[in-house]
Amino acid sequence: MLRVVVLGSGAGGGVPQWNCNCEVCTRARRGDGSVTARSQSSIAVSADGENWCIFNCSPDIRQQIADNAILWPKPGQHRHTPISSVVVTNADVDHIAGLLILREKQGFDLYATGTVLDVLVENPIFNVLDGDYVERRPIVHDQPCEVGPGITIEPFLVPGKVALFNEERMMAEQQSLHIGDESENTIGLEVTSAGGESLFYIPGCAAMTDGLAQRLKGAALVLFDGTVWLDNEMVSQKLGAKTGQRMGHMSMAGEAGSMAAFAGLDVARKVFIHINNSNHVLIEGSHERQQANDNGWEIAFDGMEIEL
Amino acid sequence: MLRVVVLGSGAGGGVPQWNCNCEVCTRARRGDGSVTARSQSSIAVSADGENWCIFNCSPDIRQQIADNAILWPKPGQHRHTPISSVVVTNADVDHIAGLLILREKQGFDLYATGTVLDVLVENPIFNVLDGDYVERRPIVHDQPCEVGPGITIEPFLVPGKVALFNEERMMAEQQSLHIGDESENTIGLEVTSAGGESLFYIPGCAAMTDGLAQRLKGAALVLFDGTVWLDNEMVSQKLGAKTGQRMGHMSMAGEAGSMAAFAGLDVARKVFIHINNSNHVLIEGSHERQQANDNGWEIAFDGMEIEL
């Protein structure tokens, strides 16, 4: 068995975003049911229903734990957590800031690439995670690794980019910013249970490569980067200057988009996750929602449960 | 006019705390009304009801903004916030981690002591706050400073300590950890409106000094460090090894406690804030709650509003 609970289905900033008056955020605040509020990007996975691995740790993790009883401490010990490990796929704020919440002398294992673990070292605030309790374990692409009872991950590199807050330093060091490179900055994961069920979790991906397409072919479940519908939607909605590509995310729609890229891959269940507030697929009844559904995609929501 | 809204009345970790089975957390999860859930430490203050200064920026700020319509962006602009400034009283995670949420190219002013601003520089993750939009402004103790329309603060040093995540480095640098020293690591604030109304905000304070007592005498409103009831309650409840003093907080009860210290100060309205999950004053009907009330103290809750 492999059980997945979506803790946060939104991208960085969530829905509504704190300072945003876009169509989606306005509807979410209005509370008319046409857009459901979404917290920031994280899923929980278990192979036994008792021990949970958290994939990405968003700043909303405190509320996400409070909202999901599966993650409450079991009675009988003064301190406890069913969270046995945390796996991080990149060093973006929405994926690492929640680690600052998981303090209080609680043991768990923290898995990330060496590159991402270096980012934590470069930011001493993450020393709130006491090294006597939290083991930081580097993972290496294409090397399977057990991350919890009955749960193995195989990390793989996907096209992405360095975290936003390190961009400026890279420029200062006269390095050019290679967006869309495959590097340890951004990984996808195949998550497999001891029983053999398996899913793919890829919340950030700048392009579909031949290698990635090959890997995903025939998969039972893929949770995939649903940040933007159109590459330039942030710009056209006057929400920001960046395209999806510039942020390291491929769009859903369009010839180079994920819906087209998945068309021949024979994936049994396809779920968009890490969905930005600018993306009108979040509006119930929108033509974007209809088109995604028509292409066989589900739109993740907070609390969504999937069992394999 | 000076309007205060308590965004988060809890201490670091909030109530319930993610991995805690203490009496207070258990009751909060049970939802029987005997303990109200509390998010992490922050207040909003306005002198005009339009522009708001946030004092301390907790990891829960996204939810706190969503829960308080006064902080929603005003319609008419693509991006907007009524938050004109953020003032930080120390570099603890519960007071600075929320800054990571206030990104998205939004202008506001960030006020803290040079010591606390240095902590942000030492952690490049805070570069998500784009310097083209967010002005970092050092404040100096005992020097009044305007931080928003009609709002002036006067910062003052209070007994405290360096942030937890910097303790280890201090030890490594062979410095001893001076808990209870007055330094730029921890400040209290007098907040005054153009109309002359004024309040004190002191969410962390390790001891009542003569100077502080003198300053607070006759105040209209003091929001004060309510972290622990008894200095050793974390230890006696087996929740941790640290005393209140070790964490830089004076207890409410006892001869050296805040209730005794305030007894002669003639403060018109006294409110405990930054209340830890270990503190039984959070339990409705508890003898701790009764005793605090009998001593003229109110217990802050999320959404509490006070107008001067």
Nearest-CA distance A282 → chain B (Å): 18
Closest residue of chain A to B69, computed from CA coordinates: A29
User: Given an 8 Å threshold on Cβ–Cβ distance, is A19 in contact with B93?
Assistant: no
CB contact under 8 A, B62 and A13: yes
Q: Hey, how many other C-beta atoms are within 10 angstroms of the C-beta on B209?
A: 16
The pLDDT tens digits of the residues spanning B244-282 come to 999 999 999 999 999 999 999 999 999 999 999 999 999
Q: Write out pLDDT tens, residues A21-38.
A: 999 999 999 999 999 999
ipTM above 0.85, yes or no: yes
pLDDT at residue B88 tops 80: yes
Model pTM score:
0.96
Tell me the average pLDDT across A193-205.
97
What domains can be seen in chain A, in order of their start residue?
Answer: 3-307 (3.60.15.10)
Mean pLDDT of chain B: 95
Best interface-test mutation with B: which of A15, A18, A21, A164 has the largest number of B CBs within 10 A?
A: A18
Tell me if B122 and A127 make a contact (CB, 8 A cut-off).
no
Say which of A78, A124, A238 has its CB closest to residue B21. Answer: A78
**Chain B nearest C-alpha distance from A67 (Å):** 10
Q: Of A255-259, B1-5, B174-178, B199-203, give the lowest mean pLDDT range.
A: B174-178
Pick from A73, A77, A123: CB nearest B125: A123
The pLDDT, as a whole number, for residue A174 is 64
Confirm if A187 and A90 have CB atoms less than 8 A apart: yes
Taking the C-alpha atoms of residue B74 and residue B52, their distance in angstroms, rounded to an integer, is 13
- Contact call for residues A224 and A252 (beta carbons, < 8 A): no
Chain A: give the shortest CA distance to residue B101, in Å: 7
pLDDT tens digits for range B161-205: 888 888 877 777 767 777 888 889 999 999 999 999 999 999 999
> Which residues fall within 8 angstroms of residue B196, CB to CB, at 6 or more apart?
none
pLDDT grade, residue B104 (50/70/90)?
confident
Would you say A193 and A151 are in contact if contact means Cβ atoms under 8 Å apart?
yes
Interface test mutation site (partner A, options B30, B101, B132, max chain A beta carbons within 10 A): B101
Whole-number Å distance between alpha carbons of B9 and B4: 12
The pLDDT, as a whole number, for residue B41 is 97
Nearest partner of A221 among A236, A208, A202, A194, judged by Cα: A202
- At residue B95, the pLDDT reads 97
- Report A:165-194 residues touching B (Cβ under 8 A): 165-166, 168-169
Listed by number, the residues of chain B in 273-302 with a beta carbon closer than 8 Å to a beta carbon of chain A are none
Cβ count near B301 (within 10 Å)? 17
Give me the mean pLDDT over the B121-142 stretch.
95
